[in-house]
Amino acid sequence: MPNAIEISREGRVALIRLNRPAQLNALNTQLATEMVEAVETLDADTDVGALVITGSERAFAAGADIAEMAGKSAEQMIEENVFAIWDRFAASRLPKIAAVNGYALGGGCELMMMCDFAIAGEGAKFGQPEIKIGVIAGMGGTQRMTKQIGRALSMDLHLTGRMMAADEALRAGLVARVVPDAEVVATAMAAAAQIASYSRPAARLAREAVMKAEELSLREGILYERALFHRLFGSRDQREGMAAFIEKRQPDFHGDR
């Protein structure tokens, strides 16, 4: 049974709560392994349409577990390929929402950016403070943050190690919404339930197309999007969705391709 995370279900939405409160949900190997295995299982479950990741009131995740890494040599870090396991989390096709209260720093901010979007509490704090302990981000922070908020602001955060408040994170595009702290998880769950109510193939391909926009030229991206759009006309959900629109009723999606 998982120990570093807690998993619950509400309809077609799964909720994963980081569960290392004494360490402010610092991301260690056990948590990473449990998280990746859980997400891959949920990704394969056709009854799950969306996922919410959250932490505690004090911290979404305050970073990677420094105590676990501090004594390792460069050779050990390379041999163990530390943090590579998180690539499997990012590769999951399941729509993922980060519900952020408190600190999302270092690895916690990187985990948030691996999700499709984030809903943050008014008191949330974000940053990549690795420079303060003599290293840099290692879970994709320099790359994802730069793509999300631009080079200048990303440089500011990575080189100064300062924290960004929720209102600045919203203006910068690091998070999608800011709500009162007490409403973060409920808001994220409601958004996830809305996503999960739609066609599962359509939701997966929508996020895939948006992700590709960061890699492709505009022309290449348009052609990629169009190919996915055409592909969905082979699904029963497309036929049901368009028939329901014409007939002015709610669609009954089945999630088949």
Residues carrying an active site annotation = 64, 107, 110, 130
Residue 86: count of CB within 10 angstroms of its CB: 21
Residue type, 18: L
Contact present, 64 and 106 (Cβ < 8 Å) = yes
Measured between alpha carbons, how far is 103 from 125 in angstroms, rounded to an integer? 5
Cβ density class 183-209: b for 16+ within 10 Å, e for less: ebbebbbebbbebbbbbbbbbbbbbeb
Q: Are strands 5-10 and 13-18 parallel, antiparallel or unpaired?
A: antiparallel
Measured between alpha carbons, how far is 203 from 183 in angstroms, rounded to an integer? 25
DSSP structure string for 64-124: B-HHHHTT--HHHHHHHTTTTTHHHHHH--S-EEEEE-BEEETHHHHHHHHSSEEEEETT-
Q: Are strands 5-10 and 59-61 parallel, antiparallel or unpaired?
A: unpaired
Contact present, 172 and 146 (Cβ < 8 Å) = no
Residue 178: count of CB within 10 angstroms of its CB: 22
Measured between alpha carbons, how far is 150 from 129 in angstroms, rounded to an integer? 18
